[in-house]
Amino acid sequence: MELQVLTFPTAPYPDQRPGASGLRKKVYVFQSKKNYLHNFIQSIFSSIDLPDRQGATLVVGGDGRFFNRTAIGVLVQMAAANGIGRLIIGHHGMMSTPAVSCVIRKYKAIGGIILTASHNPGGPNGDFGIKFNTASGGPAREEVTSKIYQLSRIIEEFAICPGLRVDLKTLGKQAFDLENKFKPFTVEIVDPVESYANLLRNIFDFAALKELLSGENHINIRLDAMHGVLGLYVKRILCEELGCPANSAINCVPLEDFGGQPPDPNLMFATDLVDSMRDGQYDFGAAFDGDGDRSMILGKHGFFVTPSDSVAVVADNIFCIPYFQHTGVRGFARSMPTSTALDRVAKATKIELHETPTGWRFFGNLMDAGMLSLCGEESFATGGDHIREKDGLWAVLAWLSIIATRRQSVEDILKDHWLKYGRNYFTRYDYENVDIDAACDMMEDLEILISDKSFVKQRFAVEDKIYQVEKADNFEYTDPLDSTITRNQGLRIIFSDGSRIVYRLGGTGAEGATVRIYIDSHERKLLFEETQVMLAPLATIALKISQLHHRTGRNGPSLIT
């Protein structure tokens, strides 16, 4: 029986502006607001010209959080009604963000829709998100997300095939005949791991990694998937293929609420991993976020590797990864708030460094132009040019490749790095769910203050430390490919010794504003002071200049990383 394609009237919502990480809202917003989900999905499809989407392939995956399966059911019905010819969906609707990027590129799809809110809380009272990636496999560029937003503000109707039901539990192809369509609409339910695992096999030396993890002189590792989608990948790739004992992988069963904790791989939330690393039983530890694109690296006794240091160490040891022995290294990049540790490696190796706004799409543009091989952000994100997304498991395998080559511990590798380049002390303070008006007013006044010519050369004294302002601005980025300028990307105060304070309004939360303060300071002499102790004078200056506590009513940050 041919399935009917119907059109229903709807009314627009004013708040469907997708950020770099898509549209994220509380679950109840999608559940309680009539057609809220339908409107946004229709706006995504309408942003693609009809000839381009007619009969095209689209990839769909999610992190397994609450509301994923409901959303996929609607998405499938609307894809069919909007002319998409084939959907490739991960088994049970699950596929990591890096794997979605991989599959888009492998099958030359027009793009993919990822159902995730990344490291945000899950469950009925948590967050839900929808993100559109384009044919490159990377997050949609700003002109695309702006078009989606503009369409969402004027939407009057959506198309859907309400009688279409897809079976997400059975691998293989399902075909559906639609009225007035010459070709059947097909849905292919695929193993979410295999294509991505095959890509990794072509990047890393799996034989060497297997020897490191399960050979005679193997190291002991601990991996925490935090009940996100990456549990599927850890079990298949690290345990079954590379020989890690099954009990070395914890929290690998994806849960709709991630076990009641945000799937955020940092010292505050990855407590199962942190606690298990303390006694020295494990040589290496890693935790992953909900959709698998971020990871935290720990050494023996819980020795913490900052994300900024992590990408710098990988850069300095990049030829431990066979892929780069074949391709060479085209460039390094970091987001502006990330510490300048990577800059020192780039300078020493004479490899070009790009400083971009926060958001992986800026890295993707450089990769597409053949200008970038390795990049990272301070938000536990590292990746290479094998896909167009950050990649948590790739970063872990990169570290294990370095350990396999150098036969040193995580701590010794990092200390050697500090001896060679000096140490960047780095921290980030997050003030979450701040009143949006108060946050914007504070940032506007702060920009006026630091833009005044008299601000440069000002001195700030805290205890025995004196810092003189050398430069202050609102960071803007000129794309080296098309010369487009991206403005208002964060307020920077750079001192004469290279120390930096950065203020940004974050965009990955589901409600309110997140004010972020980043502090970065380089020490040439190798010191082993605690990060918060070393950066306390700069933190005092950052709060004094911004008057953040007074302006927001917050006495302290929600999160320190």
Active site residues: 118
Strands (E), 201-283: 221-224, 249-250
Distance of CA 486 to the CA centre of its chain: 20
Residues with Cβ < 8 Å from 454, sequence gap 6 or more? none
Q: Where do we find the tokens 């991630």?
A: 258
Residues with Cβ < 8 Å from 141, sequence gap 6 or more? 134, 361, 365
Q: Where do we find the tokens 């990060």?
A: 531
* Residue (of 320, 322, 317) closest to 332 by Cα position: 317
Q: Where do we find the tokens 């559109």?
A: 132
* Residue (of 322, 305, 516, 335) closest to 423 by Cα position: 305
β-pair type (491-495, 423-434) = unpaired
Distance CA 402, CA 351 (A): 20
Query: Letter for the amino acid at 200?
Result: L
Widest CA span in the chain? 81
Distance CA 341, CA 423 (A): 7
Structure tokens at 435: 């009143």
Partners of 543 in beta bridges: none
Sign of CA dihedral 549, 555, 559, 560: positive
How far CA 100 is from CA of 112, 116, 133, 470, in Å, comes to 7, 12, 9, 43
CB 100 within 8 A of CB 64: no
Query: Letter for the amino acid at 371?
Result: M
